[in-house]
Structure 1
């Protein structure tokens, strides 16, 4: 293993990124976060699943003296990350209860010799008094460069997966205040973020929230009927690749996994009723592609790091929006399209409500019921699913995502201004002290004892809403909340409150249009294939490369994605590199993977090309206008993007045409600009927006995209800043 003192210094973070991990560029916020970490600053990182959180502490660990200690909640999770790091030639290890005494001793010796850069630990072991002498010895000898607290939402009682042992981690700041701390999670509301900062005693942390929008995920809700298993089976057969099916109970998990196997689908169960060994074996078979489906309770969650899950189905109702976001987020971590489906029925609502009643604390029950109302709101709403999710995390989103069932099959808008005025007037006359159900009871003229005792049967709004069903009034209330024309308390009681928007409606200053749908089988949305469009030869080569990857993975006893991600294999199938130089240009091919797999994969590709009479697509050397460089390697994927750009397609149209992410196309265009290729900036960024961007770069420098954006304001998009910056750097480096 490489010693901490022999780590090479790099001229740029991008060079280090390519060397260790094989990627050509950083994703959103990664560079800014890494720069803060390298300056010994505390940071809190909120980044969606698949957004690249791990890289934010892994790369700095390799560029600094000492060892970075990573706190991880599950054995399977830390083992998986260590396997991936080792396959990239990075000195990482873990110490946990799965090891023998001698294995632990050997790893401790390697740590003290400076042979390890990343050490993964569970919070219980890290905070154990018996472990602290080693911790102090590490600090005095090779040094501790940072603490990284992964899955940091576990520290908060307001989070969806609270773990009491995480509460002890504040002692790290008490005992070792000079060591910077990173806290990272995919899901955290504003309240949870505050709790993380407070509980971990973070010192004036920079908080990075890169957004919760997983654009590659398609969301849908299906009604749960007596035929729902048949619908589930059809879904599974229609969708390619691996999938996770979540159920509320062990009994349901066993039932669904058994029926799927009877119907010819390779599926295994996962729940707390199985032995630890059986759970581990089932998970391993799923991760290594030996079985296609895992049917699980929520016990199966954070321990899974499989990036190529193509669908997640909640056969039973999720308990909270936060847990649903986390569980559905197991799909599409590689950035490729994936589907997320919820089956909804009121029988499941009753089941969840029963589970809530088992909680001993009344405040916990109130909070849980409010969270359940958010889930029901999500499943029954006719507006954009993504808008509801993002709103829960405090993120604004206009809606119309065109990647959920409601946006692809919209229910027509209806003018409900008069009904909205009735509803808001009733909230006012009930003195803003009650929730949705009570307001609807008043409007519909209910004779409930509590309502009559309060004298609300005497209100002018009593009984004026009998012409609409309870369901329709609920839809109106939810829509008013989503449109911010009504507010709701978040203390567990869900009391409705009027706001500025409410009074605009009551004063007839703005209309209210909402989607009203009748309860019925939802229309079937049509979705494109999850597989990025390839031609017949590319599909054949891709399958051959997948078989090669599986064989290599099995030989090393690691999951296939540790060898290469699907995206890397797809790029190989498209570009067909047969030289190590060409292979090194594939995304995800770093120095170690090039040495380990380069010859094997290029031989396979060359053999395929020969047997199918195909010409390999190699790297083309083109001269650049930069005097300091004699030539620049331009791969066929850049050439394709350049050709489409010259044909007048916008970056979004190029992304759609090529089946790639918009960020990837922007990166291509930036690289092409830096290479001196003919890119028309005016066709991608309007001239009037270029001027302030150029001025901001001149003022704050080109190094940090965040600083440029802060100077410009939120009306400017990072993509247009990247493109203008590429031109600025080209002009100033020429």
Structure 2
């Protein structure tokens, strides 16, 4: 199994849970794998068909994603194809049902509409697994429910002996149970990996939508776009997408655009250009990027709050998939939280509406946090984080100003309690600020003793305080249909009872950015902040010369990828290029022993890479095999040549195949056995 992993994928060992899931699949057991983006979920369904020489059927939500995966797998020497409306090769369908492909990708719509005769022929040829990627789409409790995914259970009755494998990066306990039931899984093996993406920095900032802010954002991106890898900017509206795209283009930054109103051809071209590093920035709605297999995205920026924590975790998770430190910034306005009607529009069931409302409230809570953001995200998915601070989010890295907010908290909680908990935040805040709106006069809330006592602070200031009190358990939010209500919690009632109008127990709370901005009367524009101040770039731990050869190798990889019509990452990843820059191998054997270098790369492009390394090393006056501490089975020097007189012809052939061509020992043994048996 390890030899297959190294041969096709270039890795010496499996990551957490990969081998366990594969072993269960080989035992024909259903599996549910909940593993973070970048943790290698796809290997769980890519390795078994290579071991068993049978077809793995993979359900994937987007045609563009399937095309990317097929392209990448073909570069590794794996037989892969997709079936769908975009498939122009008429022979693929015939080859597929005879079991020709290791991996066969389909959309759920295609899988459900494919005739029974196709599945019966493929069953006869051999199916080793039926994988459902982005499996959270099955669940009504998930953040991206799709009806067509729900219909996949029909195939369970056809593929009775085939193990079903569901994979997702975002699933709470409730969603996991729904996935298992929806796919009629029988006693599945459930693997839940860590949701902690340690290399990602999380930051959140309040802002006001304006052309001035867009200009600041563009200026900040301009500083880093050309040297910090790729960037995705997610917007909540097409208008914002077009505005930011226009501003970035005018600033001379290679920028793509992607949203639902574009033609499918235009979206595909934009997607392809971004994947192939022809664009530095992609500005898009959430329609872009589901399962995108691009490891070197360095920044994900949300221009507006996502509709759920699951959406945010998945979209931000497209950042830093190669393990290199990367940055996730979220910019939000209070208006982002007033979109419940929009998000719930068209939802058919109460369960779906409840799921959307709960998700929206959680996202709002995340934006208002003054404690560790990573701890909140992990807790949301049921994972414990023992430390109080992660050291890699804005709240943990920058100390918040704290103040005794007892007087203001007492006023707000008392006002909410007097409003009898039948309103959202707008009503009590308006009462505190002295509003005489019709709704306040009709409810006689202008007669309350708190009316007008909070007029020195803005509406946003009071709402920020309210979310601090929610975060600390003094207030709680509930909802009915698409309406939110705020009430005083038992903890808050206890605080009110222990206080007097002229004296309250101390209540030390951190000031949010919004509160500080309001008090400093700088509400015109929220600052953009240093997008990459927390990020470590790819060339960390490299000397100046090594950093230069690293960037030169990246350029050469792009040229190679263009010449063979594929994406740069499909040739090899940034982390692998970094290791090559450190080692600067002189032979195919040394190249093959670098983690991340697969056999297909060595055989197809090894000569080109080695010549490039020699040329660049000579230009920069760097030695070959510098810093190479490769733990190979044989540690003799790469240029040490054996004594030909002491070797048999078979042994000499074996040495050349290992030293010059970089073939693994197992393949050499099989190959020579066939050759010499034939000669005898």
> Is the structural similarity TM-score above 0.5?
yes
- 1:106-150 CA-to-partner distances (Å, cap 9, x unmatched) read 433xx51x432211111111111x4321111121x2322111100
Query: Bigger CA drift: 551-560 or 561-570?
Result: 551-560
Distance 2:528 2:397 in 1: 10
| Aligned match for 1:195, one of 158, 175, 178 | 178
Say if 1:581 and 1:392 are closer, same or farther in 2 by CA, change over 3 A.
same
| Aligned match for 2:250, one of 257, 262, 266 | 262
| Aligned match for 1:531, one of 535, 538, 541 | 538
Answering whether residue 197 of structure 2 is matched by residue 214 of structure 1, we say yes
- The residue that corresponds to 2:332 in the other structure is 344
| Aligned match for 1:406, one of 376, 392, 395 | 395
* TM-score, length basis structure 2: 0.79
1:342 aligned counterpart, secondary structure: strand
| Aligned match for 1:90, one of 78, 84, 90 | 78
- State the Cα distance separating 1:254 from its structure 2 match: 2.9
Answering whether residue 119 of structure 2 is matched by residue 135 of structure 1, we say yes
- State the Cα distance separating 1:391 from its structure 2 match: 3.9
Given that 1:68 and 1:148 are in contact with CA atoms closer than 8 Å, whether structure 2 keeps it comes out as yes
- The residue that corresponds to 2:581 in the other structure is 573
Distance 2:237 2:423 in 1: 34
| Aligned match for 1:589, one of 589, 592, 597 | 597
| Aligned match for 1:71, one of 59, 76, 79 | 59
- State the Cα distance separating 1:298 from its structure 2 match: 2.1
Structure with the bigger RCO (C-alpha within 8 Å, sep 6+) is: 2
Aligned residues: 612
- State the Cα distance separating 1:573 from its structure 2 match: 0.5
- State the Cα distance separating 1:210 from its structure 2 match: 1.6
1:53 aligned counterpart, secondary structure: coil
Given that 2:213 and 2:528 are in contact with CA atoms closer than 8 Å, whether structure 1 keeps it comes out as no
Distance 1:115 1:54 in 2: 20
Distance 1:471 1:374 in 2: 19
- The residue that corresponds to 1:151 in the other structure is 134
- 1:311-348 CA-to-partner distances (Å, cap 9, x unmatched) read 12223443333222222222212221222223333455
Counting only pairs closer than 5 Å after superposition, residues 74-473 of structure 1 correspond to structure 2 as 74-100=62-88, 102-108=90-96, 111-112=97-98, 114-128=99-113, 130-139=114-123, 141-222=124-205, 223-224=207-208, 225-239=210-224, 240-302=228-290, 304-346=292-334, 352=339, 355-356=342-343, 359=346, 368=356, 371-397=359-385, 398-416=387-405, 436-437=425-426, 470-473=459-462
- The residue that corresponds to 2:510 in the other structure is 515
Say if 1:443 and 1:257 are closer, same or farther in 2 by CA, change over 3 A.
closer
- The residue that corresponds to 1:23 in the other structure is 11
- State the Cα distance separating 1:264 from its structure 2 match: 1.0
2:152 aligned counterpart, secondary structure: helix
- State the Cα distance separating 1:634 from its structure 2 match: 12
- The residue that corresponds to 1:732 in the other structure is none
- State the Cα distance separating 1:250 from its structure 2 match: 3.1
Distance 2:37 2:396 in 1: 23
Distance 1:99 1:630 in 2: 45
- 1:64-123 CA-to-partner distances (Å, cap 9, x unmatched) read 352211101111111111221221222222111112362334433xx51x4322111111
Instruction: Compute the RMSD of aligned alpha carbons.
Output: 3.7
Distance 1:447 1:393 in 2: 43
